[in-house]
Chains A and B, each alone.
Chain A
Amino acid sequence: DGGITQSPKYLFRKEGQNVTLSCEQNLNHDAMYWYRQDPGQGLRLIYYSQIVNDFQKGDIAEGYSVSREKKESFPLTVTSAQKNPTAFYLCASSPGPFNQPQHFGDGTRLSIL
């Protein structure tokens, strides 16, 4: 089945630790995105990528890093510099052209130990 797969579903981070969230898509979409959602809030854009080997900062990129070495993969690293990482992280993709809708994976819940 075509779709967007995020793993793990739940993740716990210790103080001072970097953690990496996986996002893989088999939709052949050019563009991929990472969002963060806090309880009772809308989504905020962390990073996005239009093509392989290129990515741009979103509105809240501090404390996060990404890579886009393959079209189908866009992993997000939450670094120790992100002081409030507890949130629901959502990966999305779109075909690329400006107006095409984004579709989301099932998300990863990150908590602090």
Chain B
Amino acid sequence: QKEVEQNSGPLSVPEGAIASLNCTYSDRGSQSFFWYRQYSGKSPELIMFIYSNGDKEDGRFTAQLNKASQYVSLLIRDSQPSDSATYLCAVNSDRAQGAQKLVFGQGTRLTINP
């Protein structure tokens, strides 16, 4: 059974600080990695995706991937109260072309304190 693990939190971060969210996965052959943000009662919204080892930056968000350690993280700089949400890590390890079979972690609940 392929697994994706996240600390469920809650993770509490002061406004303006860096929030660091972590995710580990069990399938060493995993090839694509996604971070979604989900506000309470809403559907997930794509924040970042990363395919290669290293860092990928988009505005205040940075995704970091380390395939050797089977670890992917999301950093949020200059955290804002509007960043308070649950962050879902998703991993695709299905090598078939076409559709993806994403495995999701249980999510980390992040609270930004003003």
Contact = CB atoms under 8 A, between A and B. Distances in A.
Given A43-B88, A48-B101, A101 B106 contact: no
A90 interface: yes
B97 interface: yes
Contacts of A105: 43
A99 B98 contact: no
How big is the A interface, by class?
20 to 34
Contact of A104 (B31, B43, B95): B43
A41 B97 CA distance: 28
B99 A50 contact: yes
A68 to B, nearest CB: 11
Contacts of A44: 104
A94 B105 contact: no
B99 A56 contact: yes
Contact of B49 (A51, A90, A101, A107): A101
A50 to B, nearest CB: 4
Interface in B13-62: 31-32, 34, 36, 42-46, 49, 51
Interface of B: 4, 8, 31-32, 34, 36, 42-46, 49, 51, 88, 90, 92, 95-102, 104-107
18 contacts: A31-B100, A35-B104, A40-B8, A40-B106, A40-B107, A41-B107, A43-B88, A44-B104, A45-B102, A48-B99, A94-B100, A96-B98, A96-B99, A98-B31, A100-B100, A103-B46, A104-B45, A106-B43
